Amino acid sequence: MKRLLPSSALALATLLLGAGISAWAQDQQHVVSLTDLSKDAAGASETRRSDEQAVRALLSSEQGQKALKSAHLDYQRVDKAVGQLSDDDLARLAQRSRQAQADFAAGRLSNGAIIGIVALIAATIILVSVFYALSKD
């Protein structure tokens, strides 16, 4: 029995040590450094800033101002609403704004068409911000 005791103790120690190392290694896989978190937050913030800039660039353009005026929308009100959009809604509108500007610059859109697109984007911004405001209450 004395012979089995050391081998049993060795087996038990190996099992416990192996389980401890496995648990430690598993915990280490879930650790995210503060630097990685900061980079992710900065990246998201920069993306939002870029998206806001794209939408505002279209709205403040000559065609954008004409569209807002024809739709009887105040630029300041629409501009404020841009900042209230969710990241997803803002990203979609920014993509459409960039595409509309590129198409207009390439001559694929007429002045009237770009004005119509800007009016739709501005109306969407207002409606989405109103919807979010109502849903918070």
Instruction: Give the whole-angstrom CA distance, residue 137 versus residue 132.
Output: 9
Residues 37 and 12 reside in one and the same domain: no
Residue 92 has pLDDT above 60, yes or no: yes
- Could you report how far apart the first and last alpha carbons of the chain are, in Å? 75
CA distance 14 to 33: 31
Q: Which pLDDT score, from 0 to 100, does residue 111 have?
A: 86
Query: Containing domain of residue 90, as a range?
Result: 33-136
Higher pLDDT, 10 or 132: 132
| Domain identity same for 101 and 123 | yes
Same domain, yes or no: 49 and 1: no
Q: Domain total for the chain?
A: 2
